[in-house]
Each structure stands twice: as structure tokens, then as C-alpha cells.
Amino acid sequence: MKLYTSNRAPNPRRVRWVMAEKGITDVELIEIDIMSGAHKTPDYRARVGVPHVPALELDDGTIISESVAICRYLEALHPEPNLFGHDAREQAIVEMWTRRGEFYLANPIMLSVRHSHPALVALEATQVPQVADYNRVGAERFMRTLDRHLADHEFIALDRFTIADVVATVGLDFARLVKYRPPEEFTHLARWYEASRARPAAAAGA
């Protein structure tokens, strides 16, 4: 298998992190230079279908894009350690928190960074400071919710580390590009965040 990835983008890091958690080493990593627009070339779009990374090419030529879909496929091949839930209840809870982490934290942070970091004008032809501010405020609103939740939960979704923790941590890490840190009042969020970043696979996925 081949993983089309980019060390500059947050979503491919989710997949590399999951691979590291599971000890998957037989996937070829192919770096795509998104800053030069390599993900928008006719060849790449014809192969993947959309100008996005990551994308996983299977041995039979099938292409799977979207980071969580790729991670779910890898989970099916390598069930342990389990990151998506063992039974219907666990799977639903993990899915719920993963979607919340994407919609209300990771995506707003991504938009805030892309509309405020000078170098990312290559990705956002027109940067709008108001978009950056609006999305940062939205992300912090969810951080408050997450901080309350983490007051009596070690991890986000279950009693163990899951894909929901990967998605949320990678989202927060991306904000470090603009030297952003979550408000200090979110102490439970800070505890969870530092614990997640301290995992060996977090560094492997970076």
C-alpha cells in the first residue's frame, strides 16, 4: 500500500499517528508538496479524485481518501490496539466524539491558521482575518465543553485512547503554527493534551 501524505498538513498526521499506534510499517509513504500545489495536479486529481491529502492506495489500485476513513480501514486490518470501539456502544461513542472533534475543534482551528499564517497564503489565495478570528472563537467554545467533559474522563471517548483523541490532539497541535495555546483556564484540557502529546506514537506521527 501507498500513503500519499504531507508533513505540512494535519490530516495526514492522523493517519501516521494511527499507523504508529498500531505498529504498521509496511505502508510506503509518498510525500506530496502541497505548498507547491502538487495535490492539485491533473495526475494527482485523476488518481485520488479530489485535491486533498492523505490518500491511501491499495495494492489493487483502490484509492481511499479522508483521514478517518483511512484510519478505519487500517483498524480493520490491524484490530489492536483498538481505536474505534469494540462493540456497537463503544463504536457509536467514538464516532460521536470524533465527529465533534472534527466539526467543532479541528476544522475551525485549521481555518483559523490557514487564514492567519503568512506562509499559508499559498493555500488560501485570499486570507480573511475575520474568518480566522471567528473560527478561533468557535474552537474555544468547544474547548470549554471538552474541558468540562475531561474533568472526570482521562480520555475523550472511552476509558482508553482512541481516534477521537488523535483527531482532537492533532487539531490543537496545528494551532501551534501561529503560536496559539488554549486558554490557561482549561486545566483538564491541558492535562489531557499533554498526556496525548507525550505518547510515543504522537512523535512518530508528527
Say what the pLDDT of residue 205 is: 65
The per-residue pLDDT for 127 is 76
Give me the pLDDT at residue 113, please. 84
Q: Tens digits of per-residue pLDDT, 69-106?
A: 999 999 999 999 999 999 999 999 999 999 999 999 99
Mean pLDDT, rounded, for 183-189: 97
Binned at pLDDT 50, 70 and 90, residue 128 comes out as confident
Task: Go through the domains of the chain in sequence order and give each one's CATH number.
Answer: 2-77 (3.40.30.10), 88-199 (1.20.1050.10)
Lowest mean pLDDT of 21-30, 31-40, 97-106, 157-166, name the range.
31-40
pLDDT tops 80 at residue 122: no
Strand 55-57 versus strand 2-5 pairing type: antiparallel
122-136 mean pLDDT = 82
The predicted structure's pLDDT at residue 176: 86
Distances (CA, A) of 175 to 110, 132, 160, 163, 165: 7, 11, 25, 19, 16
The pTM for the full model equals: 0.93
Reported as a pLDDT band with limits 50, 70 and 90, residue 116 is confident
pLDDT at 114: 80
Checking if the pLDDT of 206 tops 70, the result is no
